[in-house]
Chains A and B, each alone.
Chain A
Amino acid sequence: QSVLTQSPSASGTPGQRVTISCSGSGSNIGSNTVNWYQQLPGAAPKLLIYLNNQRPSGIPDRFSGSKSGTSASLAIGGLQSEDEADYYCAAWDDSLSGPVFGGGTKLTVL
């Protein structure tokens, strides 16, 4: 059971905008920044968003992040077939004194 809660699956058609949500509590998302990772099949996770809404160099601006209270969201605009992957949220948890992850959302591009 993951500390952060994500829906197991999401889907969209090419060109569509999709949103993936992540729910936590006051000890993690509520008081710390959120990070998002993309994991393509057979590959290691890749940092997609850090500090709630910042993109590392090389990440397209189709990917955006936001946070409100104890929840966060990752939005993917202009969906492409290569976006089909698992997406994970992560944040520091003050109570556990360590980073925690969501269970992941499998995105299918129809």
Chain B
Amino acid sequence: QVQLQESGPELVKPSETLSLTCTVSGGSITSYYWSWVRQTPGKGLEWIGYFYHSEGTKYNSSLKSRVTISGDTSKNQLSLKLASVTAADTAVYYCARGGRWGNFDYWGQGTLVTVSS
């Protein structure tokens, strides 16, 4: 059974960088696409980007200038960095397996990140 667990700071100051890690068990990140998706009350679900071991990364064009997604195959972890955050980046952040074609079949529980001073 594939399981995903997000971890990272719950509070980030404006203009700083949001950093999250997703630890994957029951499956290898060297296979499949692995995505970050966020959910806000105002904008609903928003795909941030994906990592695909043999292809690299792809990002949502609206966030591309601020996002970095990477994979650590030795730890079987996915990471997300979002720079220069504002209050609009306050959201529940999920890691999920999939993303190509819009189908995400496994999700982490999600972690609420609040941007506030």
Contacts and interface: CB of A to CB of B under 8 A. Distances in A.
Interface of B: 43-47, 49, 58-61, 94, 99-105, 107-110
Q: Is the interface of A mostly helix, strand, loop or mixed?
A: strand
A90 B103 contact: yes
> How many interface residues does chain A have, given as a range?
20 to 34
A99 B44 contact: no
Contacts of B61: 96-98
Contacts of A90: 45, 102-104
Q: Is the interface of B mostly helix, strand, loop or mixed?
A: strand
Nearest to B97: A47
A88 B44 contact: yes
B107 A45 contact: yes
A22 to B, nearest CB: 12
A44 B46 CA distance: 13
B60 A98 contact: yes
Contacts of A75: none
B107 A46 contact: yes
A8 to B, nearest CB: 11
Contacts of A41: none
Given A44-B94, A98-B60, A92 B101 contact: yes
B102 A91 contact: yes
A104 B45 contact: yes
A18 interface: no
Contacts of A56: 105
A10 interface: no
A104 B44 contact: yes
Contacts of A88: 44-45
B6 to A, nearest CB: 10
